Structure 1
Amino acid sequence: MTPNKEDYLKMIYELGGTTKKVTNKQLVTGLKVSAASVSEMVTKLLKEGFVEHIPYHGIHLTDEGLLKASALVRKHRLWEVFLVNHLGYAWNEVHQEAEVLEHVTSIELTRRLDKYLDFPTVCPHGGMIPAEKEILNEKTLPTLVDKQIYDVVKIKRVADDKELLDYLASLEISIGDVYKIMDIGAYEGPILLESDGKQLAISYKAATSIFIDLV
């Protein structure tokens, strides 16, 4: 499978293409490609049995497509663990490197990397790492925008997006941090968090991609 096809399968997965229909427009935005390119690739993936497509409704992964996407996410996240734990990368620096490495990593190298890392189950961004030939079933978690003022929350996972990760790094936010929600701005305004007497404001857009648990 070509790297381009792999990128499409992974993006469909990340956009929720296992439980809902993903639109061509979402793929155009997520992959930063033209509408014509999306239409052409969706047709190819449909013929190869990796997706199902209902005109004017959207696309979702078949079982075979989900298995391929899970294997790709596994490679990506294992490399992120390696880069952070062994090469000193910050968590917001590894996404683009892993994007390159995932496409050139063989099954055998993936097995050896997994063993070398002592079989990690989560990546630096809190995402699950499936075992070999295992379907990735990410735990459904609420996002920061789903909670109320004065809730105390723990950050469990964030979307693997470079712009978001750079933003969170600038605020010195990490997986496992615990915050109390002090205020929620009206009309999708910022969310004010507090920890150890220090306060910080999170944009509504970023908060939709921060997954949490109540403490």
Structure 2
Amino acid sequence: MTPNKEDYLKMVYELGETTKKVTNKQLVSGLKVSAASVSEMITKLLKEGYVGHIPYKGIHLTEEGLQKASALVRKHRLWEVFLVNNLGYAWNEVHQEAEVLEHVTSIELTRHLDKYLDFPTVCPHGGMIPAEKEVVHEKFLSTLVDKEIYDVVKIKRVADEKELLDYLASLDVNIGDRYKIIDIGAYEGPITLEAEGKQLVVSYKAATNIFIESV
């Protein structure tokens, strides 16, 4: 399978995971390609049995497509762990590097990398790292926008998107941080968090991609 096809399958997974349908428009935005390129590639993936399509609802991965996407996610997230733990990368710096490495990593190298890292189960962004031949199923978590004022939450996972990660890094937000929600702006306004006497304001858009559990 070509790296381009792999990118499409992984993007369909990242946008819809195992339950949501994904639109061509979302793929155009996520992959930063033209609408014509998306239509052409989806037609190929449909013929090869990696995706299915329901008119007016969107695209989803077939079982075979999910297996392929899971294997790629596994490689990507293992490299992210390696880069953070062994080469001193920050969590917002590893995505692009892992995007390159995932396409040139053999199954055997993946096994050795997994063993070297002592079989990690989550990546630096809190995402599940599936075992070999395991399908990736993220644990259902609420997002920050689902909570209410005065709730205390712990950040468990964030979407693996470069702009979001850079934004959170600028706010010094990390996986495992605990915050109390002290204000929620009206009409999808920002959410104000507090921890140890310090406050920070998170945009609504970012909050929709911050997955938390109640404390």
Please, what TM-score do these two structures have when normalized by structure 2? 0.99
Amino acid at match of 2:98: A
Alignment of structure 1 residues 69-148 onto 2, 5 Å:
69-148=69-148
Note the C-alpha offset of 1:17: 4.9
Asked whether 1:170 is paired with 2:160, we answer: no
Contact 2:16/2:22 (<8 A) preserved: yes
Cα distance in 1, alignment partners of residues 112 and 165 from structure 2:
28
Cα distance in 1, alignment partners of residues 54 and 39 from structure 2:
13
Gaps of 5+ in 1: none
Alignment of structure 1 residues 1-215 onto 2, 5 Å:
1-215=1-215
Gaps of 5+ in 2: none
Cα distance in 2, alignment partners of residues 187 and 174 from structure 1:
26
Contact 1:156/1:175 (<8 A) preserved: yes
List per-residue Cα deviations over 1:83-130 (Å, max 9, x = no partner).
000000000000000000000000000000000000000000000000
Report percent identity of matched pairs: 86
Cα distance in 2, alignment partners of residues 17 and 56 from structure 1:
19
Aligned length: 215
Cα distance in 1, alignment partners of residues 111 and 45 from structure 2:
27
Please, what TM-score do these two structures have when normalized by structure 1? 0.99
Q: Secondary structure at the match of 1:15?
A: helix
Contact 1:191/1:204 (<8 A) preserved: yes
Note the C-alpha offset of 1:20: 2.4
Contact 2:80/2:95 (<8 A) preserved: yes
List per-residue Cα deviations over 1:48-89 (Å, max 9, x = no partner).
110111233211100000000000000000000000000000
Contact 2:155/2:178 (<8 A) preserved: yes
RMSD: 0.7
Cα distance in 1, alignment partners of residues 150 and 54 from structure 2:
43
Q: Secondary structure at the match of 2:201?
A: strand
Contact 1:17/1:59 (<8 A) preserved: no
Q: Which portions of structure 1, spanning 4 or more consecutive aligned residues, are displaced by more than 4 angstroms? A: none
